[in-house]
Amino acid sequence: MKYSIPLLALVIAAVSLPAGAADNAAKPTAQQSKMADCNKQAGEKKGDERKAFMKTCLSAKKETQQDKMKACNASAKGKTGDERKAFMKECLSGKAA
């Protein structure tokens, strides 16, 4: 009887482990996703040109919301009221050029 609880726990762990491992294998990591995106962008580049592009692409940092806010505020100088609100909304959503 004293072995039945640890044995049961071991069986449950053994059965659930492969299922959990499969879930983790299906989800790409952030780095893997970034690599896939950079590969798509690299297109038909070859050799040194591709190496240089991939290095730049993989080391690029994603723009933070704070960075967007600073850039949009700088671009919104001179705008006031509803015009500024509309501009900021469009700029922060990423639709503005």
Whole-number Å distance between alpha carbons of 33 and 28:
6
- Please check the confidence at residue 79 and state whether its pLDDT lies above 70: yes
CA dist 36 and 95 (Å) reads 24
Categorize the per-residue pLDDT at 97 as very low, low, confident or very high, splitting at 50, 70 and 90. Answer: very low
State mean pLDDT over 31-49: 89
72 has pLDDT over 70: yes
Token code pair at residue 18: 């492969």
pLDDT, mean of residues 85-92: 91
- Please tell me the distance from the alpha carbon of residue 2 to that of residue 26, in angstroms, as a whole number: 38
Mean pLDDT of 53-80: 88
CA distance 16 to 10: 10
- Determine the average pLDDT of the residues in 17-46: 78
Instruction: Read off the pLDDT of each residue in 4-33 and give the average, rounded to a whole number.
Output: 66
pLDDT score of 82: 95
